[in-house]
Chain A
Amino acid sequence: MSVTKLLGRLHLNRESVLLVRNDTLVPGDAMLDDVDVVEIRPVISGGVS
């Protein structure tokens, strides 16, 4: 399954998260294996200042 497809299944906006595998960024078209452990890192932050 590709990263983009995984994010779609999880109903996550690809503009709002990054996917990290083994401390490395993974782009949208990369294929994930069933045994991969990945971090889906939110990127939105902040109050108003």
Chain B
Amino acid sequence: MKCRVCRGPAVIDLRRHNSNFCAEHFTKFCRDQVAKAISDFGMIQPTDRVLVAVSGGKDSLAVWDLLLALGYQADGLYVGLGIGEYSDSSGGYARRFAESRGLGLEVIDLPDEYGYDIPTGARAAKRAPCSACGLTKRHLFDEAAVRGRYDVLVTGHNLDDEAAVLFGNVLHWHTEYLGRQHPVLPARDGFPKKVKPLVRLGEREMAAYCIVSGIDYVVEECPMAAGNRHLGYKEALNQIELGSPGAKADFYFGFLRNAAATFAAGNAESREALGLCERCGSPSSAEVCAFCRLVERAGGAARPVALVPRRGAGGEQ
């Protein structure tokens, strides 16, 4: 198997692209895909200050590395979720990545700073662990991006993540969520601009990028995520991809081209006006935001944030 570009020995075969690459040209391929996503969707401007939400996993460390390689100024944010040894381990990978490259990394420790951890919060709020985790991370990422006056918040969601979320939303016809599923969410109502530069790259490609780039990441799966529906959707889509290479990309990008605008328009019509959470000051359609309600049930304590929403249209993200 030879590299499509240089005809040297290939290290990876990408059936979706009918291509094989050596390490050097696979790295270039990944950079080109990220650059194209950024350009196609207007994700990041050259002078933007970028905050990358980092988990210690392959996707977030890879996207941070790729943005730096493309010349962007990007700091990191890691949230310690209090998920036992898994959080200790993943935090170590994030710190070592930042230290070895001299990068800025803000660390927020949920148990220390908010008085609860994800397992406790999920039980207390009667939420699935991934739901409590997602709610917590979205709030803390938004807060940090606005407080730090970053122009854009980057997450490491890849093509497989987005295709799996789309699959679940279509399966259950969650039309409101379909209206929000886009690789760019513009800044509005006190929320930061959020982008997903890895949407053109799959999960296998991101793991391969880390291996060929020497990026050490936490390989173990989060113990709280085991058996969740999202992973089941990914497995189902990979089974389809096995027999029909390119199916995941066709599904996701076909949705963006043909249907996303229709669902987004429906959301715009029904958007609630936003006020301020009376406890933390973040944008919220309720008197007390969902994050503060979670914190209260978990026995923790929220703290005021620096979010200043504009009055007007919009719902919680």
Does B134 count as interface, using CB distance less than 8 angstroms? yes
Shortest Cβ distance from residue B167 to the other chain A in the assembled complex, whole angstroms: 12
Does A34 count as interface, using CB distance less than 8 angstroms? no
Interface string of B217-238 (1 = CB under 8 A from A): 0010110110011110011001
From B202, B230, B238, give the contact of A46 (CB < 8 A). Answer: B230
- Which interface class (under 10, 10 to 19, 20 to 34, 35 or more) fits A? 20 to 34
Shortest Cβ distance from residue A41 to the other chain B in the assembled complex, whole angstroms: 6
Shortest Cβ distance from residue B140 to the other chain A in the assembled complex, whole angstroms: 11
Q: How far is the CA of A44 from the CA of B1 in the complex (A)?
A: 25
Does A14 count as interface, using CB distance less than 8 angstroms? yes
- Which residues, 12 to 34 on A, are CB-close (under 8 Å) to B? 13-18, 20, 23-30
Q: How far is the CA of A42 from the CA of B226 in the complex (A)?
A: 14
Shortest Cβ distance from residue B5 to the other chain A in the assembled complex, whole angstroms: 15
From A13, A20, A24, A41, give the contact of B239 (CB < 8 A). Answer: A13
Q: A14-B242, A44-B160 are in contact. Are A27 and B12 (CB under 8 A)?
A: yes
Would you call A15 and B241 a contact (CB within 8 A)? yes
Would you call B130 and A47 a contact (CB within 8 A)? yes
Q: How far is the CA of A17 from the CA of B208 in the complex (A)?
A: 10
Would you call B11 and A27 a contact (CB within 8 A)? yes
Q: How far is the CA of A18 from the CA of B12 in the complex (A)?
A: 9
Would you call B242 and A30 a contact (CB within 8 A)? no
Can you name the residue of chain A whose Cβ is closest to the Cβ of B161? A46
Does B200 count as interface, using CB distance less than 8 angstroms? no
Does B147 count as interface, using CB distance less than 8 angstroms? no
Q: How far is the CA of A43 from the CA of B211 in the complex (A)?
A: 11
- Which residues, 34 to 51 on B, are CB-close (under 8 Å) to A? none
Would you call A44 and B208 a contact (CB within 8 A)? no
Shortest Cβ distance from residue B110 to the other chain A in the assembled complex, whole angstroms: 14
Would you call A24 and B11 a contact (CB within 8 A)? yes
User: Chain A residues near B58 (CB, 8 Å)?
Assistant: 43, 45
Would you call A29 and B137 a contact (CB within 8 A)? no
Does B7 count as interface, using CB distance less than 8 angstroms? no
Q: A49-B130, A49-B134 are in contact. Are A30 and B225 (CB under 8 A)?
A: no
From B165, B221, B238, give the contact of A48 (CB < 8 A). Answer: B165
User: Chain B residues near A15 (CB, 8 Å)?
Assistant: 202, 204, 238, 241-242
Q: What are 9 pairs between A and B in contact, CB < 8 Å?
A: A15-B241, A16-B238, A17-B204, A25-B12, A28-B13, A41-B211, A44-B203, A47-B228, A48-B229
Chain B residues engaging chain A, CB cutoff 8 angstroms: 1, 10-13, 20, 23, 57-59, 129-131, 133-134, 137-138, 155, 160-161, 165, 168, 202-204, 206-208, 211-212, 219, 221-222, 224-225, 228-231, 234-235, 238-239, 241-242
Known contacts A46-B225, A46-B230, then 14 further A-B pairs from the complex at CB < 8 Å, ordered by chain A residue: A15-B202, A18-B12, A24-B11, A25-B212, A27-B20, A28-B1, A41-B219, A43-B204, A43-B206, A44-B221, A44-B231, A45-B222, A47-B230, A48-B131
